[in-house]
């Protein structure tokens, strides 16, 4: 019987991990990140205080598949001042105020001209939008629509102290070595500034997950990737084409700090083990997870799942991107995420890892009829014991479906029993010489 103290210690550990993830997300939140630049390096420095991250620098102009690594962007200051010299927009107040990758500007202009360079959300008039111009030469600001509407005609000074120069694209990796030569890829995009759910939550969760795996012996290698969206994933793929055949499972992690969902988007393959494991976890314990088929729009799963790679990589989120009103606005702040939701997301991903680690495909070595379990000590001597009955059902389901074509996860799904009970039954049957592992 599980004691109250055991239950309480497990609950305390769940609360503790949520607090740690939230605290790390809060440290990352103020940093102004983009697809390149000092903000990315500063973010990796902070993450590197928790895990041993290898930082990669890829020079501007490097060809990566059909793309080219862009110039590096860095920003130091930006503001809009009215005729009296008061700052009505200040980059120091919120780094969403500047159009991402904006070119430098220092001019004075009338309000009518300024408005053509200001982005707002009329339908959410009190929020600052997040906008970028990665691959076009523009300058601009973002502000609350109500604040723009209150501006009086007159001259305004606009100043953006930023530059685009030949430099590098930066991404980070953490590698946890397992006992095999097969890999699990866990990836989070690092390019969004001051958006707590999208994606300080994913970065912080994966860093804490990687730290937890350090003390664990695993079958798989776990490769954690912290890279800018799209161009970062493409750069990593171009640099690792010789090794990606080792990836058996993969997961993109984003928007994991709010209370929505959970949501999972399948890999392009649609029936990969990661797809099955995520569906199993999101449907257990009354979670009522939402499972979506693959589409070529979203985060970096669309790069990993492009037809030339077709990797088994899915996308895990709480609220799906673009579906919650805080998405890509200043409302995606630290009040929008919580330690409880971060801990819950962490727990679900860890459950998936447990399944990947314990899953295998058994073969019944006595397939004609049922083998005698009693003389092997696999049946309880006490009749009527409910727990013994459930254990016996685990034996019977495993033995019946252990034909070399059903994994333990398949058997758990077919039987309706928990994966852990099926895995334990298979372990005992194997220890007693009744099962072997199918040859792949």
Question: Is 50 annotated for ligand binding?
Answer: no
Question: Is 181 annotated for ligand binding?
Answer: no
Tokens describing residue 97? 């105020």
3-state secondary structure 79-134: EEECCCCCEEEECCCCHHHECECCCCEEEEEEHHHHHHHEECCCCCCCCCECCECC
Q: CA-CA distance, 388 to 384, in Å (whole number)?
A: 8
* Dihedral (Cα; 163, 164, 167, 168), 10-degree rounding: 110
Q: CA-CA distance, 43 to 190, in Å (whole number)?
A: 8
Tell me if 247 sits within 8 A of 294, measured CB to CB: no
Question: Is 198 annotated for ligand binding?
Answer: yes
How many CA atoms are closer than 13 Å to the CA of 345, on its beta-carbon side?
Answer: 38
Q: CA-CA distance, 414 to 396, in Å (whole number)?
A: 12
Q: How many CB atoms lie within 10 A of CB 36?
A: 29
Positions at the binding site for Zn(2+): 192, 198, 328
Binding residues: 192, 198, 328
């Amino acid at each position: 019987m599980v004691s109250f103290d055991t239950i309480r210690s497990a609950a305390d550990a769940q609360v503790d991990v949520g607090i740690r993830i939230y605290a790390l997300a809060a440290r990352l939140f103020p940093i102004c990140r983009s697809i390149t630049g000092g903000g990315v390096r500063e973010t990796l420095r902070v993450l590197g205080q928790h895990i041993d991250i290898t930082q990669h620098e890829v020079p501007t102009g490097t060809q990566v598949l059909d793309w080219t690594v862009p110039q590096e962007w860095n920003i130091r200051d930006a503001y809009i001042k009215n005729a009296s010299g008061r700052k009505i927009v200040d980059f120091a107040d919120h780094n969403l105020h500047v159009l991402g990758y904006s070119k430098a500007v220092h001019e004075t202009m009338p309000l009518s001209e300024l408005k053509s360079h200001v982005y707002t959300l009329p339908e959410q008039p009190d929020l600052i939008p997040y906008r970028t111009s990665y691959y076009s030469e523009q300058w601009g600001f973002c502000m609350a629509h109500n604040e723009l509407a209150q501006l009086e005609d007159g001259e305004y000074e606009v100043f953006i102290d930023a530059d685009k120069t030949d430099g590098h694209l930066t991404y980070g990796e953490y590698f946890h070595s397992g006992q095999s030569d097969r890999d699990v890829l866990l990836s989070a995009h690092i390019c969004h500034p001051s958006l707590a759910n999208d994606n300080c939550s994913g970065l912080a969760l994966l860093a804490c997950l990687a730290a937890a795996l350090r003390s664990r012996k695993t079958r798989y290698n776990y490769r954690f990737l912290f890279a800018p969206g799209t161009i970062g994933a493409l750069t990593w793929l171009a640099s690792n084409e010789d090794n990606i055949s080792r990836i058996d499972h993969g997961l993109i992690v984003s928007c994991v700090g709010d209370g929505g969902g959970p949501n999972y988007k399948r890999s392009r393959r649609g029936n990969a083990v990661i797809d099955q494991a995520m569906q199993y976890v999101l449907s257990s314990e009354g979670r009522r997870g939402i499972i979506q088929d693959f589409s070529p729009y979203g985060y970096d799963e669309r790069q990993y799942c492009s037809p030339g790679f077709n990797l088994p990589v899915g996308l895990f989120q709480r609220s799906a991107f673009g579906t919650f009103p805080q998405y890509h606005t200043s409302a995606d702040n630290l009040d929008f995420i919580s330690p409880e939701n971060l801990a819950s997301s962490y727990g679900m991903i860890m459950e998936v890892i447990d399944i990947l680690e314990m899953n295998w495909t058994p073969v019944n070595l006595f397939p004609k009829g049922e083998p005698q379990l009693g003389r092997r000590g696999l049946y309880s001597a006490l009749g009527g014991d409910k727990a013994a009955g459930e254990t016996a059902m685990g034996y019977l389901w495993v033995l019946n479906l252990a034909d070399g074509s059903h994994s333990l996860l398949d058997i758990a799904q077919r039987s309706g029993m928990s994966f852990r009970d099926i895995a334990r039954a298979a372990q005992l049957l194997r220890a007693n010489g009744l099962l072997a592992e199918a040859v792949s």
